[in-house]
Amino acid sequence: MKIKHLLFLISVMVLLNGCAPTPLTVELYPTTSPSTNATPVIVDRYVLNTISKKFHLPSCRWANKIKEENRKLSTADREELLAEQYSPCGDCKP
């Protein structure tokens, strides 16, 4: 919720109830992680064509046309794929 909206709601509460609400502390930038036992989510960054050695964004129209036996999902970053001699798709430009 935006600060302006929060201040507006507090003002309305004061007008309706005739008293100010209890002070509210809001931590805008948490200094600790929300959960210490959270499991990291691994997201496939690229779709690889193992025959043409091209890599695509998952949303690329050409990625959807790769045959299943030539298709591989990758979590590697762009530099790693370039080092493995893969080249970026000219259409989606990953």
Q: Write the pLDDT tens digit of every residue in 17-36.
A: 555 444 545 455 555 655 56
Tokens representing 48 are 């690889």
Q: Write the pLDDT tens digit of every residue in 35-45.
A: 566 666 666 79
Residues 66-80: what's their mean pLDDT?
A: 95
Q: What is the pTM of this model?
A: 0.56
Give residue 59's pLDDT: 93
Q: What string of DSSP letters covers 65-91? A: GS-GGGEEEE---HHHHHHTT-EE-TT
What's the rounded Cα separation, in Å, for the pair 13 and 15?
Answer: 5
Instruction: Output the CA–CA distances (angstroms, integers) from residue 54 to 42, 59, 63, 65, in the order listed.
Output: 21, 14, 9, 13
Residue 49, helix vs strand vs coil:
strand
Give residue 61's pLDDT: 94
Residue 51, helix vs strand vs coil:
coil
Q: Write the pLDDT tens digit of every residue in 45-68.
A: 999 999 999 999 999 999 999 999
Residues 5-24: what's their mean pLDDT?
A: 57
